[in-house]
A and B are shown apart, each in its own frame.
Chain A
Amino acid sequence: MNINIASQINSFLAALVLLTAFGMLVQRRMYGLVHLFAWQGLFLSLNTAIVGFVADRHHLYISSVLTLTLKVILLPYILHVLIQRLKVHKEVETVVNIPMTMLIGIALVIFSYHLMAPVRELSTLVTRSTLAVALATVMIGLLMMITRKHAVTQIIGFLAMENGLFFAATSATYGMPLVVELGVALDILIAAFIFGIFFFHIHTTFDSLDVEKMARLKEED
């Protein structure tokens, strides 16, 4: 495969990752959110495989497959089950209205581009230009955790952030060492389980997954 075409595909996938990140930011429906998350994982996994091919790093194939099983199949499945069990699939409440969130998201993209411009000048990798996108994805994940009230959206935001970090690792240095990646993957999996258990507890205690209800936990004065 021509290196030029590969870098174009890489850019295109980066754009899609960013698009799904924005999609999650503005999506109101719970299932739609999970599906978008799965799509993001798929683009990530494809991107990893392509980078692995271009850079001739074979361990990237493994992490690509890992991403595919974990983030495209397993986690979305868990979330799906969770949403079904807890019956929370109605529209997501937002703290900030959606057009405003979009504008903040755009500002974050510009900011991360500005931040990454010097790195871009220094680096020689094919994937260097996607670094800004990776950083933006991380920040948008965080923004999502801030602007949403629902606990399930918060974990999706968290997972999206992790996606962004993974993407950053792939594009900045052609991926982390395999051991680290395996460890992170395991962490994510365990985190998801723990979140799931917590959700059940929160749900039984407050009869809702609205995290604003947790304000009740503070000391009354």
Chain B
Amino acid sequence: MKTYPFIIELLQIAILLGVSPALTGWVRMMKCWTQGRTSPGLLQPYRDIMKLFSKDVVLADNASWIFRFTPYLVFGTAVLAGGVIPMLSIDLPIASTADVIVIVALFAIARFFTALAGMDIGTAFGGMGSSREMTIASLAEPAMLMAIFTVSLASKSTSLSQMVHVIYSGHSLFRPSLAFAMIAFVLIALAETGRIPVDNPATHLELTMIHEAMILEYSGRHLALIEWAGMMKLFLFASLGIATFAPWGIASAGDIGFVPASFLIMMLKLGAAGAGLVLIETGLAKMRIFRLTEFLGSAFLLATLGMLSFFILE
């Protein structure tokens, strides 16, 4: 049994844990620039997390074990997903644990428990956040599945490593189906990670918040874990998009010498993804919640068009 895939695996999880706050910091920094503000720097998320870890936990009187368990679970699913999505190399020992559908389900389990935690304290905000989050998720899910379907048509697989491998060796230059699926995926990723047209990550404005409303009562290390997991989720969605639609630069099986280069390429691509996110967030305003059906409907439409154009045009 070869050992280096395990090393890559650990490396990947270390990168996930270490770099994800920097990605968030990068996005926040660029957002400050585009809006003409002075940014607190790339490292501010690290400082936030460290500060939260060192603080005591203040727990509401009637918080149950679900409230205390949720941060750990959310963190755990994010780390596990990071072990499965190929970022540096497709040669990951636990990659076959989960295909794309399972990864989506891993995010779903984190969301399920976050929503429960939102309802645990019994405040109106928590319930509101949970209700909205689950509604948006249920609208995003069909679109997500159609996007997966389209990609799996091209690669004849739902396993991520296999997808990367096939897209590498594919000789087709312009694939309308993949282009459609990619736009759909971007829209879904915006919804799932709670970015601007769907939810505003920076807000504590009471009536517009969704994700923030659910985690309002958290503090101390619990909040740190949830915030960190949120940053990892952004990182993971970016990596998932990269692995599915722009995998060039990920080391293929056995190509260990390429791993440092693929790390650099990954950083560049993530930086570009962050810049794209900032462009979207700066250019758009947050939508009314009932306009989101149209937003996510368009994502579904695009993904379905991708599927159809695979059959019609390819």
Interface residues of A (CB under 8 A from B): 5, 8-9, 11-12, 14-16, 18-19, 22, 26, 98-99, 102, 105-106, 109-110, 113, 129-130, 132-133
Contact = CB atoms under 8 A, between A and B. Distances in A.
B313 A99 contact: no
B180 A113 contact: no
Interface in B280-314: 293-294, 297-298, 300-302, 304-305, 308-309, 311-314
Nearest to A22: B301
Contacts of A130: 313
B265 interface: no
Given A11-B309, A12-B179, A15-B176, 9 more contacts: A9-B174, A11-B174, A14-B309, A15-B177, A15-B179, A26-B301, A99-B297, A106-B308, A113-B308
Interface centre among B180, B293, B298, B309 (most CB of A within 10 A): B309
Contacts of A8: 172-174
Describe A's contact surface by its main secondary structure: helix
Contacts of A16: 176
Contact of A109 (B172, B173, B300, B308): B308
B294 A18 contact: no
B185 to A, nearest CB: 15
Contacts, number: 64
Contact of B180 (A15, A129, A133): A15
Interface residues of B, number: 23
Nearest to B176: A15
A133 B305 CA distance: 11
Given A15-B179, A15-B305, A99-B297, A133 B312 contact: yes
Contacts of B311: 113
Contacts of B301: 22, 26, 102, 105-106
Interface centre among B172, B294, B301, B305 (most CB of A within 10 A): B301
Nearest to B174: A12
Contacts of A106: 301, 304-305, 308
9 closest pairs, A vs B, by CB? A15-B176, A11-B313, A12-B174, A99-B297, A8-B174, A102-B301, A15-B309, A12-B176, A132-B312
